[in-house]
Chains A and B, each alone.
Chain A
Amino acid sequence: MNDTELDALLTASRPEDEHDPDCAACRAALTRRPAHPWRRRLAVAGAAGVTVVAIGAGAAATVGLPFVDHDAPVKHTQTVSNGDQCQSTFTVHAEGGHRSDPESVEAAKAILAGLDLDALDISEELASLKEEYAHTTWEGPGPEPDYQYALDSQDMLENQALSRAVMDEISTGLRAQGLRPGQVSLVTESLCDDHEMATRR
């Protein structure tokens, strides 16, 4: 393979750009900044209480429904130990597509609606999360950047711990009813006061 052929292969490997002349994501990002604080989206999936974390502003939806029924998202304000507040919205979703179990999903929504989120003990989840982040290593590519977003900030940890605690409550409740926690996921979308980047070095 000569240089020209290699160049052609490499250039042709560039993924196709989607036709998006308006760049809706650009508009959203440009209008969101800088007035709105950094938003975080946490999703806690079912089964073993596994936490899926994404950070950013993409999906911080607000739904203005009062939670008079089980389908409504549950909104909660969490005051974390440093005094910051996180506004969170918890929503139960079905996992498994067409094979999802509606009974488990409905039961999970009912459990969520009945939880006293202020009374949940998050200490065990918090310790577990700290342990996880303590053993996080840079996996590249490239050198470790000189800063990172505050993945391990206190509000992040405590907010994520609350999400996990909620999912644990739902999982425990479902199992007690003979239902399947793996059929549901809990999406937590949070907006926290602390939105500054953490400096690594």
Chain B
Amino acid sequence: MTGADVEAVLEANAPDLHRYLLRRLADHEDAAEALNDVLLTAWRRREQIPADPHEARLWLYGVAANVQRNQQRARTRRAALVRRLRADPTAQRPVEPDAVGGEVRDAIDALPGELGELVRLRHWEGFSLAEAAQVLGIPASTARTRYAAARRRLRATLSPLGDEEPEPDRSARRLGVPVVAHD
């Protein structure tokens, strides 16, 4: 792959990689730094980038997965340090706009090992399980087993959410036109 080819692959995938990192790091500066690390790593290892564009994309996501894991490790260490400083340990948390989405994300985060990332790659990034396995560097059969385990755990955790009675449609009542009797 020539330098121009590498440039093209990186440019084509950078926006998606940035969104991938933003979804996991939830901090613009961390995501920007992580993206820079991904591109630097890709450039240094450019001879390893597959020639096929789709394979190259998966390879880049694999790099991004490692980079964000490193970032999260640094963030974990940083957060532990910052907690010693701040009276309000929740001050740095991003605002959570939707409660249900937040609960589901918490449940995904709580999954052990790679289970959570498998779910995110499948449902957030739209990868097949085989592609997700490639990103994570694990056999597809392992990915399938782990994904099934993840779903079992999530179903148990999230069932109360899915079983809730739907809210009555108050907007319909508010906006409803009074019934007028016709002759």
Contacts and interface: CB of A to CB of B under 8 A. Distances in A.
A6 B114 contact: no
Interface stretch (A46-54, A69-77, A111-119, A168-176): A46-54
A93 B143 CA distance: 47
Interface string A140-157: 111101111101000000
Interface residues of A, number: 54
A13 B123 contact: yes
Nearest to A136: B77
A38 B40 contact: yes
Nearest to A147: B66
Nearest to A18: B22
Q: Give the size range of B's interface with the partner.
A: 35 or more
Given A1-B159, A53-B78, A142-B136, A30 B113 contact: no
A50 B84 contact: yes
B35 A6 contact: no
A7 B119 CA distance: 10
A53 B124 CA distance: 29
B104 A33 contact: no
Contacts of A6: 151, 154-155, 158, 162
Contacts of B35: 25-26, 29
A16 B98 CA distance: 10
B36 A33 contact: yes
B43 A33 contact: yes
Contact of B105 (A13, A23, A52): A13
A141 B121 CA distance: 14
Nearest to A27: B14
B36 A58 contact: yes
Of B11, B40, B41, the most chain A CB neighbours within 10 A belong to B40
Contact of B108 (A10, A48, A55, A140): A10
A142 B66 CA distance: 10
A142 B101 contact: no
A86 interface: no
A191 B114 CA distance: 34
A149 B73 contact: no
A142 B74 contact: no
A34 B43 contact: yes
A52 B27 CA distance: 15
Given A12-B101, A47-B84, A139-B73, A29 B39 contact: yes
B104 A13 contact: yes
A142 B69 contact: yes
A176 B2 CA distance: 60
A107 interface: no
Contacts of A48: 84-85
Given A26-B18, A46-B85, A149-B70, A197 B32 contact: no
- Interface pairs A-B: 9 shortest CB-CB: A56-B33, A13-B104, A1-B162, A26-B14, A25-B32, A14-B124, A58-B33, A10-B123, A57-B36
19 contacts: A6-B162, A10-B108, A13-B100, A14-B123, A16-B97, A25-B18, A25-B31, A29-B39, A30-B10, A34-B44, A48-B84, A48-B85, A54-B74, A138-B73, A140-B112, A141-B113, A141-B116, A142-B114, A146-B66
Given A10-B154, A146-B66, 18 more contacts: A1-B159, A1-B162, A6-B155, A9-B158, A11-B123, A13-B105, A13-B108, A16-B97, A29-B36, A33-B10, A38-B40, A41-B33, A55-B37, A56-B36, A57-B36, A140-B112, A147-B66, A197-B41
